[in-house]
Amino acid sequence: MKIKIEVPATSANLGPGFDTLGIALDWQYQFEISTAVREKKGEPKLNMIKNGFEAVFNKAKEQNVPHLEVKFSKNILIGRGLGTSAACYLAGIEAANQFLNNPLSEEEKIDVAIKVEGHADNVMPAYYGGLQVIVKKEQKNKNNFINLRLDLDPKLKLIVLVPNFSMPTKKTRETLSHKISLENAVYNISRSVLLTHALVQGKYDHLKEATMDKLHQSERSKNFPNMYDIFEAATREGAHGVYLSGGGPTIAAFVTKNERNISKVMKDQLNDPKGIVKICNIVDEGLKII
């Protein structure tokens, strides 16, 4: 068995929408997954694929999980805030489901992915594409999550600046306060609502205010001292709104013009030749078999 799967990179949170908003980018991760006689051990990306693969076998009550060999595209950078783990788990899940002749429905695959990966705000846009609003349901029956796609103007792009260091989401998440003041809750709720409406209505002047956050970015910036300087540089050059992508350290900026200059000032401010900057479109399509 051999299967090629493409999954978009995803950017979660979008500022105030912590664990709630995620968006798919035309930065495509590719996986070629085949069964193998032997398996390399200790490779984090392969382990994630394998965990997703095994989870489908378990759910389908199938045994004899085969060894896997996986070829990865070079752009899969772990721990940068661009949804690589969601993509790896989903690729493993899709491969296993195809391998077993599709025992799991779409909802079941998503459910498995969120259980093993943990971040619905990456899993949903990676699987379905577009900008997704995600809500964990109080009453769980068939699905545990609601996801709703918001349609955006194709002129809207995201510049992503990817520093050459990792900020593992799990670790930086542990540093976040679990007690939120009412004032800060209102701060983020109001901005999340404003953000989704401003994006859909094309009222980009609101994005500067709407991408601000008081739940996670400031704490996470302790691992990334010039993060806010990069936000400011991008905004000065004409970015509409700037935020820390997922758990970081990637920084994402909403733009509709002046992309090259904005990219340049972000990269200059990062001041690391190994940092990557890319102007991304938002893609409507999620995971696909290629």
Which parts of this chain interact with ligand HSE (CB under 6 A)?
12-13, 18-19, 119, 121-122, 169, 173, 216, 246-247
- Of the pair 169, 263, the CB lying nearest ligand HSE is at 169
Compute CA distances 125 → 95, 147, 171, whole Å. 18, 9, 23
DSSP for 167-229?
Answer: --HHHHHHTS-S---HHHHHHHHHHHHHHHHHHHHT-GGGHHHHT--SSSHHHHGGGSTTHHH
- Give me the least distance between CB of 18 and ligand HSE, in Å please: 6
Burial of 168 from C-beta contacts in 10 A (0-12 / 13-18 / 19+): middle
- Give me the least distance between CB of 170 and ligand HSE, in Å please: 8
- Of the pair 22, 92, the CB lying nearest ligand HSE is at 22
- Give me the least distance between CB of 121 and ligand HSE, in Å please: 5
- Of the pair 111, 121, the CB lying nearest ligand HSE is at 121
Contacts of 101 (CB under 8 A, 6+ apart): none
The C-alpha torsion from 219 through 133 and 193 to 258, rounded to 10°, is 80
- Of the pair 57, 128, the CB lying nearest ligand HSE is at 128
- Give me the least distance between CB of 118 and ligand HSE, in Å please: 8
- Give me the least distance between CB of 58 and ligand HSE, in Å please: 24
CA 194 – CA 203 distance, rounded (Å)? 10
- Of the pair 119, 214, the CB lying nearest ligand HSE is at 119
Check the CA dihedral 166-171-176-178 and report its sign.
Answer: positive
User: Which residue is at the shortest CB distance from ligand HSE?
Assistant: 246
Compute CA distances 85 → 78, 80, 143, 176, whole Å. 7, 10, 22, 21
- Of the pair 68, 252, the CB lying nearest ligand HSE is at 252
- Of the pair 19, 209, the CB lying nearest ligand HSE is at 19
- Give me the least distance between CB of 181 and ligand HSE, in Å please: 19
- Give me the least distance between CB of 189 and ligand HSE, in Å please: 16
Give strand pairing partners of 67: 36
